[in-house]
Amino acid sequence: MLSTLLPNQVANFAYNQLTNPQIKKLRPNELEVLDTSQKETLTFQGFDIQLYTWLGGQDKVLLIHGWEGQAGNFADLIQKLREKNYTIYAFDAPSHGFSSKGKTSLFEFTELVGELIKKFEVSKLVSHSFGGVATTYALFNNLDLKINKYVLLTTPDKFLERIEDVSEQVGITEKVKNILINRLEKETSLDVSNLNVSEFVKKINVDKALIIHDKKDTVIPISRSRNVHSNWKNCAFIEVEGTGHFRILRTKPVLEKTIEFLNA
């Protein structure tokens, strides 16, 4: 009813859902792992970005969290990587984790990922969830960046699907959804229908990739990862069960497969 009576106001509410991430508290062990890092702050587009480094050997990897996630979500993987003497880099995206807060979007997230790949000179990446969108888009926009190994622990595909998900959560009409899309396209000067991971991966400079996704993931349906995989010639795909969308980051067999792939 509100979508019919107040379409612009409801579109504004949906827009705020897309641009104001809600952050969950970290578990005690996740905070403990972050406390073992070397911390620094990077000024980026008006945000103070929290960076984390765990020094190890010459093998370097950058971890890219998902929307409404943060670096601490990778705590279990970080511990496993440290056992293998990796130098590990992670960050909290704009308005995420311990970085400063404000309205943000896919596009700032994307630009930051590209900047950090260059800053840390990494050739190995691991992303979770929406981090896969930001990372593949960053690589698509920076085709000079060469990545040796890239693991995606679930990934969305089409940005329009994200809008569909938010539209369903908020309960808005097709008219309001179109207002929302028009606003996003006006602000970004981009056609959101072209923002698809399955298209980015056709051109990005990645030697070998691996997607791991739970068959019953209720946050991002596995069909989205399958479509990305089918369009990515250098990509392997592993379907798992019993991890869900978030526990996949703490599941021992998944962590082992991730490190095995990075080491191969």
Beta strands in the chain (DSSP E): 38-44, 47-54, 60-64, 87-91, 124-128, 147-153, 206-214, 235-240
For the chain, domain boundaries:
28-156+193-263
- Cα separation, 137 vs 134, in Å, equals 5
Name the percent of the chain lying above pLDDT 90. Answer: 74
Please write the tens of the pLDDT for every residue from 232-256: 999 999 999 999 999 999 999 999 9
87-91, strands of its sheet edge to edge: 38-44, 47-54, 87-91, 60-64, 124-128, 147-153, 206-214, 235-240
pLDDT above 90: residue 49: yes
Q: Which fold has domain 28-156+193-263?
A: Rossmann fold (3.40.50)
Question: What phi and psi values does residue 128 have, to the nearest 5 degrees?
Answer: -125, 135
Query: For 79-132, what is each residue's pLDDT tens digit?
Result: 999 999 999 999 999 999 999 999 888 889 999 999 999 999 999 999 999 999
Question: What residue type is assigned to position 181 of the chain?
Answer: I
Whether residue 168 has pLDDT greater than 90: no
State the Cα–Cα distance between residues 18 and 21, nearest whole angstrom: 7
Looking at residue 251, its pLDDT comes to: 98
Mean pLDDT along residues 182-205: 88
Q: Which two tokens stand for residue 160?
A: 């329009």
| pTM value > 0.95 | no
Task: Provide φ and ψ at 185, rounded to 5°.
Answer: -70, -35
Phi-psi label, residue 125: left if phi above 0, alpha if psi -120 to 50, beta otherwise: beta
